[in-house]
């Protein structure tokens, strides 16, 4: 039975908006020009490729359903469906999800990380590292075969990755060759040397690196816990992949939820002026003056009290956790719209005095029409830059907030909850480092890609940067 959680609905709404915006931009040359500049940026396109991989995982993880229970006698629920909510990603990663061990095990290990007392056949007891139930379970003799098996699987994964990367590159080159009417080799050379408008070489290189990393991991994950297991024996790779969706949801839904307020209030305040302006300014100064962590803490505590005192609102634990995630997004949105609102107000104040707005006024266009048709399109670049710049900060904020205890529900898998549960593991003897490192590494790659992409977008859309570029070109020509 498919289930659409609140955040799922918003994620798909966002995807629909993005596709719609894509069509809108595609038909307008002046908007397309800026996006072409984004496409020229190698760092931007490489990071976009990485982001796309993350987004694909996140979208797969947003297709939720409740699995039908097999007709086991004695296990009946109200409607024949389990109360556990799963996603398409869970189904894909079924072996990882269900392959839990007893407790910690190191990456690619065949034995548990803690000694256990085992009874020998002769009745005596001894303390050994027991074999894992899933990691390396296929090996007859782990001491001998482990190295060979890992190497074989890595090579196999790498070979598949190279094959996949080459196939994809070939498809791209073939398509480009047909389009440009060039020979295969000439096309390849053009792409490789970066002589194309769109930074195809960056995309292909990033994709190849991604595949070379993912290939061995996928191939090894069939027999081992590639990143080890955590305290309760869950596969760390599975946890990190599940965390991606939470990070993406917080980074995007938060901005989505605050955009309407920030845009509408900012433009109205700037265009109308007078007491409306005073009121809106008062509103955002007040909100701004509360330190955001404390405002978030206060709001999250309140939401938590509301959720905890009304357990009857939610059918499943996943829905409750989802409600808390959504609430967190909305709260973060409430605390973060003020900056964008102030920017838009200032820009509208400037635009309001320009001739084309005065012309519209002279034609008798209504205020709402001027704001919607004339001012809004001309401040959209600020909105876009704010959206992409906010994303990485929000992903980082989630981890901190979850650590403080005012982030997502503890049952929601996220980078923050992973770090929070793993933070004492470095103090253990021997040290358990893999879950912390895995969480930090994935978060780092996601945030770095987002930062690089947002830089590319800002460089392409910010008129101040664009002005500098024009000046530079003029200087070059003069020289």
Partner 1 sequence: MLAYIIRRLLYAIPILIGVNLLTFTLFFVVNTPDDMARMQLGIKRVTPEAIQKWKAERGYDKPLLYNGTAEGAGKITRTIFFEKSVKLFVFDFGRADDGRDIGHEIRMRMGPSLAIAVPAFILGLFVTISFALLLAFFRATYLDFWGVVMCVAMMSISSLFYIIGGQYLVSKVWHLVPISGYAGGLDAGRFLLLPVLISVVAGIGSSTRWYRTIFLEEIGKDYVRTARAKGLSEMAVLFRHVLKNAMIPILTGAVVVIPLLFMGSLLIESFFGIPGLGSYTIDAINAQDFAVVRSMVFIGSVLYIAGLLLTDLSYTLVDPRVRLQ
Stretch touching partner 1 by CB under 8 A, among 15-23, 203-211, 381-389, 419-427 = 419-427
Please list, residue by residue across 273-303, b when 16 or more beta carbons sit within 10 angstroms of its beta carbon and e when fewer do.
Answer: eeeebeebeeebeebbeeebeebbbebbeeb
How far is CA 470 from each of CA 43, 108, 464, 475, rounded to the nearest angstrom? 21, 54, 10, 9
Q: Is 323 in the site for partner 1 (CB under 8 A)?
A: no
Q: Which of residues 265-284 bind partner 1 (CB under 8 A)?
A: 282
Complex with partner 1: residue 190 or 342, whichever CB lies closer: 342
Decide the pairing of beta strands 64-65 and 2-3.
Answer: antiparallel
Residue 69 class from Cβ within 10 Å (0-12 exposed, 13-18 middle, 19+ buried)?
middle
Smallest distance from the beta carbon of 409 to partner 1, in angstroms?
15
Residue in 94, 423, 463, 474 binding partner 1, rule: CB under 8 A = 423
Say if residues 450 and 395 touch (Cβ distance below 8 Å). yes
From 195-203, 335-343, 375-383, 436-444, span contacting partner 1 (CB under 8 A): 436-444
Question: What CA–CA distance (Å, rounded) separates 7 from 120?
Answer: 52
- Are the beta carbons of 239 and 226 closer than 8 angstroms? no
Q: Which of 8-16, 85-93, 193-201, 302-310 is the region at the interface with partner 1 (rule: CB under 8 A)? A: 302-310
Helix axes 142-180, 184-192, angle to 10 degrees: 110
Q: How far is the CB of 377 from partner 1 (least distance, A)?
A: 27
CB of 242 to partner 1, least distance (A): 18
Helix, strand or coil, per DSSP, at residue 314: coil
Q: How far apart are CA 409 and CA 234, in angstroms?
A: 18
Among 288, 319, 361, 378, binds partner 1 (CB under 8 A): 288
Q: How far is the CB of 182 from partner 1 (least distance, A)?
A: 33
Q: Which stretch binds partner 1 (CB under 8 A): 191-199, 239-247, 289-297, 339-347?
A: 289-297
- Among the listed residues 209, 214, 217, 293, the single contact to partner 1 using CB under 8 A: 293
In whole angstroms, how close is the CB of 133 to partner 1 at the nearest point?
A: 30
Residues 39, 23: Cα–Cα separation, whole Å: 17
> Taking CB under 8 A as the criterion, which residues in 453-472 touch partner 1?
455, 468
| Sole binder of partner 1 in the list 137, 159, 166, 301 (CB under 8 A) | 301
Task: Give min distance, CB of 363 to partner 1, in A.
Answer: 38
From 252-260, 359-367, 372-380, 401-409, span contacting partner 1 (CB under 8 A): 401-409
CA distances from 10 to 221, 259, 325, 329, 334 (A): 32, 14, 12, 11, 17
Closest by Cα among 287, 368, 280, 372 to 333? 287
- 436 is a site residue for partner 1 (CB under 8 A): yes
Give the one residue of 182, 297, 317, 365 binding partner 1; rule: CB under 8 A: 297
Binder of partner 1 out of 1, 290, 470, 474 (CB under 8 A): 290
Q: Is 346 in the site for partner 1 (CB under 8 A)?
A: no
* Least distance (Å) between residue 443 CB and partner 1: 6
Query: Rg of the chain over CA atoms, in angstroms?
Result: 27
DSSP state of 124: -
Beta bridge partner(s), residue 68: 81
What span, in angstroms and rounded, lies between the C-alpha atoms of 313 and 322? 12
As a whole number of angstroms, the distance between CA 125 and CA 119 comes to: 5
Query: Which residues in this chain contact partner 1 in the complex, by CB under 8 A?
Result: 282, 285-291, 293-295, 297-299, 301-302, 305-306, 308-309, 311, 392, 396, 399-400, 403-406, 415, 419, 423, 426-427, 436, 440, 443-444, 447-448, 451-452, 455, 468
């Amino acid at each position: 039975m498919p289930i659409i959680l609140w955040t799922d609905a918003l994620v798909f709404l966002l995807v629909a908006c993005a596709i719609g915006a894509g069509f809108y931009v595609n038909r307008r040359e002046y908007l397309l020009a800026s996006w072409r500049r984004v496409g020229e940026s190698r760092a931007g396109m490489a990071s976009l490729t990485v982001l796309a991989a993350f987004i694909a995982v996140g979208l797969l993880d947003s297709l939720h359903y409740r699995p039908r229970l097999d007709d086991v006698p004695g296990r009946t629920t109200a409607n024949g469906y389990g109360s556990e909510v799963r996603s398409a990603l869970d189904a894909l990663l079924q072996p990882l999800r269900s392959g839990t061990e007893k407790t910690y095990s190191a990456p690619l290990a065949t034995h548990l990380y803690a000694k256990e007392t085992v009874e020998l056949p002769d009745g005596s007891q001894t303390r050994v590292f027991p074999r894992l139930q899933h990691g390396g379970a296929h090996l007859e003799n782990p001491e001998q075969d482990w190295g060979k098996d890992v190497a074989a699987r890595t090579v196999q994964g790498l070979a598949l990755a190279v094959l996949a990367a080459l196939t994809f590159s070939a498809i791209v080159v073939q398509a480009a060759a047909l389009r440009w009417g060039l020979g295969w080799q000439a096309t390849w050379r053009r792409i490789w040397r970066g002589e194309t408008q769109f930074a195809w070489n960056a995309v292909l290189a990033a994709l190849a690196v991604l595949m070379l990393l993912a290939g061995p991991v996928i191939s090894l994950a069939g027999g081992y816990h590639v990143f080890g297991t955590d305290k309760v024996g869950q596969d760390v790779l599975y946890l990190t992949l599940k965390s991606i969706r939470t990070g993406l949801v917080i980074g995007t839904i938060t901005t989505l939820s605050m955009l309407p307020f920030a845009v509408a209030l900012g433009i109205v305040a700037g265009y109308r002026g007078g007491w409306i302006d005073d009121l809106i300014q008062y509103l955002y100064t007040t909100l701004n003056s509360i330190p955001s962590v404390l405002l978030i803490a206060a709001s999250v505590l309140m939401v938590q009290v509301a959720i905890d005192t009304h357990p009857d609102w939610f059918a499943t634990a996943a829905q409750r956790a989802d409600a808390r995630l959504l609430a967190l997004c909305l709260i973060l949105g409430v605390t973060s719209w003020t900056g964008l609102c102030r920017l838009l107000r200032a820009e509208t104040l400037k635009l309001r005095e320009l001739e084309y707005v005065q012309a519209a006024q002279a034609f008798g266009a209504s205020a709402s029409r001027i704001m919607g048709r004339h001012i809004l399109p001309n401040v959209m670049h600020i909105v876009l830059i704010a959206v992409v710049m906010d994303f990485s900060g929000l992903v980082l904020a989630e981890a901190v907030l979850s650590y403080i205890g005012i982030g997502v529900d503890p049952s929601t898998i996220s980078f923050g909850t992973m770090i929070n549960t793993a933070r004492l593991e470095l103090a253990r003897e021997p040290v358990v480092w893999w879950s912390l490192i895995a969480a930090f590494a994935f978060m780092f790659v996601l945030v770095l890609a987002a930062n690089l992409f947002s830089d590319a977008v800002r460089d392409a859309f910010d008129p101040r940067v664009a002005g500098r570029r024009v000046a530079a070109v003029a200087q070059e020509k003069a020289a």
